Amino acid sequence: MQTLAQKGDVYNSLHFFDMLRIMPGKPSIYDYNAMLNCYLKSSNVCLNGMNLLQLEMRRVGLCPNVLTFSTLLKGLSIVGEARVGLGVVLEMCDYGFVPSFSCLASLFRRFLDKVELGDAISVLELMLGFGYVPTEPKAILLISSLCSRGMIQDACFVFFKLLGKGYFQRPYFYNPILWSLCKSDQIGGLLAFFCCLEKKGLVYNTCSYTALVYGLSKKGLFREAYGCLKIMEGDSGCYPNVKTYTTIIKGLCEYGRIKEALGLLGKMEKTGCDPDIVTYNIVIRALSNENMLNEIYELYESLHQKGLVPDRYTATAFSGLLKRGSLGIARTLLQDIFLSDIDLDVAVYNVYLCSLCHAREPQELSSLVRSMIKNGIEPNNITFNTILKGFCEEKTLDEALEFFEHVDWPGKRPDSVSFNTILSAACKMGDSRMVQKVVDLMDGEGVKLNVVGLTCLMQYFCNVGKFDDCLKVFEHMIIYGPLPSVVTVNTLMVYLCKNHEVETAYWVLRNLKRYGLLPDSRTYNILLRGAKSERKFLLVAELQRKLRMGVNQTASF
């Protein structure tokens, strides 16, 4: 019987097992355990075999002992059936046996490796119930995996569970939670969590404070962010570092407060916290978007003087210059990086391709794509969407469509940006035939028009004078979705102003909040222009007042 089991022949082994029943008291649980043990030595052990054995054990009415369970768990671990293993552990507990630390720890590890986090939490709870403590790296891994998958609630649950047992009070455990709360825009949750840590007397480190600075900057709450910086610079023992300053500089750039960002950059240099290439790249990107050439030159110079070397992110930081028409400068700077020996990647090539498109050199596009492939860099959908855009601007839309339909899309299929690129071109040109073609194409591919595509259509209807249809699209979006974006709203505003309906536009503006929409400064400026040209001075004054107050007064937390 054991020989057969060892060979993996469960079926025939069980046959002999059954034959033992002619002897009193046989087969016993010891025979069963021995057979199971032999089976695990077989080279073709599998879940099915173990299932068969278990069924047989139940059929002949054997009551498992602790060895039965541990052998079974060993087998399940061999075949990698962690979830079945968890079931066996639970059954084992029902029988009153205590699973060993190593058995639970190994299950825990397995679930972490397979990113089956719910099961990992179940195992952790079992472990804590038996007084077992997971290793520190694995506990951190669980919390950070939960966070990176957006399961912040579960991460908190795990953290407080461990904290309640008196384990793991160091920042490495809760910093991932702080950061993911910030990244998912839960500033209220962040502050609540901070208060909670404070009450429990836990000690932060610089990374924890930086999370707070990040969350506040992201919301535009710079006064509060500076306050946090002050506390850090005081006697917190967590002096701000390059990452802290860079975080706030990034926030300032995103809110268009570039002067302030430059000021902070200067402060870093003065206080001996030297900015690194990441800091510079962020500022260069913001300057590029504003086409602030002199400042870019200055920064570019000073980073070289500091011995810093531009990298792939520096190259992509120049992309704003392309949009703002500083083509020659952008190409010089890009070429400078292209000819250096830094590692390039697909994003850098894509920006370079974009510069070729703007330079109206479509014949060079394919040779650049060939050279990127030769250098081992795979083009992605962005690569081809960039080329498609170039075609739309340079050639006829039929030729662009030809490219669209015959190119071997890297993502196996064009994405919504691909469709919108060509749809947008057709809409701008008022090319009804092409608009219809693209809409049909999307229909055939089962791709729904998204907010960008629908905004294009609104523009199209305005272009061809079908104003009612433009409004209908907007209404449709309000009622059925997708929710219009601020660009959609601005498109509508432009249309209303063009149509001498500034008062209506203002009415829409005041009602935006009811639909969950927010205007931006461009919305106000569009209206302001419209009101001025219609000589509606009361409205002009009103709009100017609102602009001065700040368009959307930052909600306080």
Partner DNA sequence: CTAGGGTTAG
Q: Which of residues 446-475 bind DNA (CB under 7 A)?
A: 450-453, 455-456, 459
Return the number of the residue (380 or 504) whose C-beta is nearest DNA. 380
Among positions 53, 152, 282, 401, the unique one binding DNA when judged by CB under 7 A: 282
Q: Residues 68, 39: contact at Cβ < 8 Å?
A: no
Q: Is 186 exposed, middle or buried (0-12, 13-18, 19+ CB in 10 A)?
A: middle
In the complex, least distance from residue 534 CB atom to DNA, rounded to whole angstroms: 24
Query: 498 — phi, psi (to 5°)?
Result: -60, -35
Show the binding pattern over residues 382-411: x = contacts DNA (CB under 7 A), - = does not.
x--xx--x----------------------
Return the range that interacts with DNA (CB under 7 A); candidates 75-83, 202-210, 506-514, 549-557: 202-210
Helices (H) and strands (E) in the chain, counts: 33, 0
In the complex, least distance from residue 292 CB atom to DNA, rounded to whole angstroms: 16
Q: Which of residues 139-168 bind DNA (CB under 7 A)?
A: 140, 144
Return the range that interacts with DNA (CB under 7 A); candidates 125-133, 191-199, 210-218, 368-376: 210-218
Among positions 202, 327, 346, 551, the unique one binding DNA when judged by CB under 7 A: 346
Return the number of the residue (82 or 426) whose C-beta is nearest DNA. 426
Selection from 334, 248, 253, 319 nearest residue 286 by Cα: 253
Return the number of the residue (72 or 477) whose C-beta is nearest DNA. 477
Name the 3-class secondary structure at 160: helix
Q: What is the DSSP letter of 407?
A: S
Return the number of the residue (454 or 539) whose C-beta is nearest DNA. 454
Q: Is 330 exposed, middle or buried (0-12, 13-18, 19+ CB in 10 A)?
A: buried
What is the distance between the alpha carbons of residues 1 and 76, in angstroms, rounded to a whole number? 21
Q: Which of residues 31-70 bind DNA (CB under 7 A)?
A: none
Q: Which of residues 471-510 bind DNA (CB under 7 A)?
A: 484-485, 487-488, 491
Return the number of the residue (33 or 418) whose C-beta is nearest DNA. 418
Q: Residues 245, 273: contact at Cβ < 8 Å?
A: yes
Q: Look up residue 20 and give its two tokens.
A: 């033992």
Return the range that interacts with DNA (CB under 7 A); candidates 48-56, 396-404, 413-421, 534-542: 413-421
Q: Which of residues 350-369 bind DNA (CB under 7 A)?
A: 350-351, 354
Q: Which of residues 63-122 bind DNA (CB under 7 A)?
A: none
In the complex, least distance from residue 381 CB atom to DNA, rounded to whole angstroms: 6
In the complex, least distance from residue 250 CB atom to DNA, rounded to whole angstroms: 5
In the complex, least distance from residue 545 CB atom to DNA, rounded to whole angstroms: 28
For position 281 contacting DNA by CB under 7 A, the verdict is: yes
Alpha helices for 308-431 (secondary structure H): 312-317, 319-323, 327-339, 346-358, 363-374, 381-394, 397-406, 416-429
What is the distance between the alpha carbons of residues 389 and 381, in angstroms, rounded to a whole number? 12
Return the range that interacts with DNA (CB under 7 A); candidates 61-69, 191-199, 236-244, 403-411: 236-244
Among positions 124, 303, 330, 417, the unique one binding DNA when judged by CB under 7 A: 417
Number of chain positions touching DNA (CB under 7 A): 73
In the complex, least distance from residue 157 CB atom to DNA, rounded to whole angstroms: 19
Return the range that interacts with DNA (CB under 7 A); candidates 82-90, 126-134, 235-243, 258-266: 235-243
Return the range that interacts with DNA (CB under 7 A); candidates 47-55, 188-196, 240-248, 529-537: 240-248
Return the number of the residue (14 or 141) whose C-beta is nearest DNA. 141
Burial annotation 233-272 (CB, 10 A radius, 16+ → b, else e) = eeebebebeeebbbbbbbbbbebebbebbbebbeebeeee
Return the number of the residue (46 or 486) whose C-beta is nearest DNA. 486
Q: Residues 423, 452: contact at Cβ < 8 Å?
A: no
Cα 41 from chain centre: 45
Taking CA atoms, 107 is separated from 73, 110, 196, 458, in Å, by 9, 5, 31, 56
Among positive and negative, which fits the CA dihedral 458, 462, 464, 469?
Answer: positive
Return the number of the residue (87 or 150) whose C-beta is nearest DNA. 150
In the complex, least distance from residue 87 CB atom to DNA, rounded to whole angstroms: 32
Among positive and negative, which fits the CA dihedral 358, 256, 417, 496?
Answer: negative
What is the DSSP annotation of 34-93?
A: HHHHHHHHSTT--HHHHHHHHHHHHHTTPPP-HHHHHHHHHHHHHTT-HHHHHHHHHHHH
In the complex, least distance from residue 500 CB atom to DNA, rounded to whole angstroms: 22
Among positions 278, 329, 441, 478, the unique one binding DNA when judged by CB under 7 A: 278
Q: Which of residues 247-266 bind DNA (CB under 7 A)?
A: 247, 250
Name the 3-class secondary structure at 360: coil
In the complex, least distance from residue 296 CB atom to DNA, rounded to whole angstroms: 15
Selection from 33, 45, 35 nearest residue 8 by Cα: 45
Name the 3-class secondary structure at 100: coil
Q: Which of residues 293-332 bind DNA (CB under 7 A)?
A: 311-317, 319, 323
Among positions 116, 260, 276, 542, the unique one binding DNA when judged by CB under 7 A: 276
Q: Which of residues 419-438 bind DNA (CB under 7 A)?
A: 420-421, 424
Q: What is the DSSP letter of 24?
A: T
For position 207 contacting DNA by CB under 7 A, the verdict is: yes
In the complex, least distance from residue 275 CB atom to DNA, rounded to whole angstroms: 7
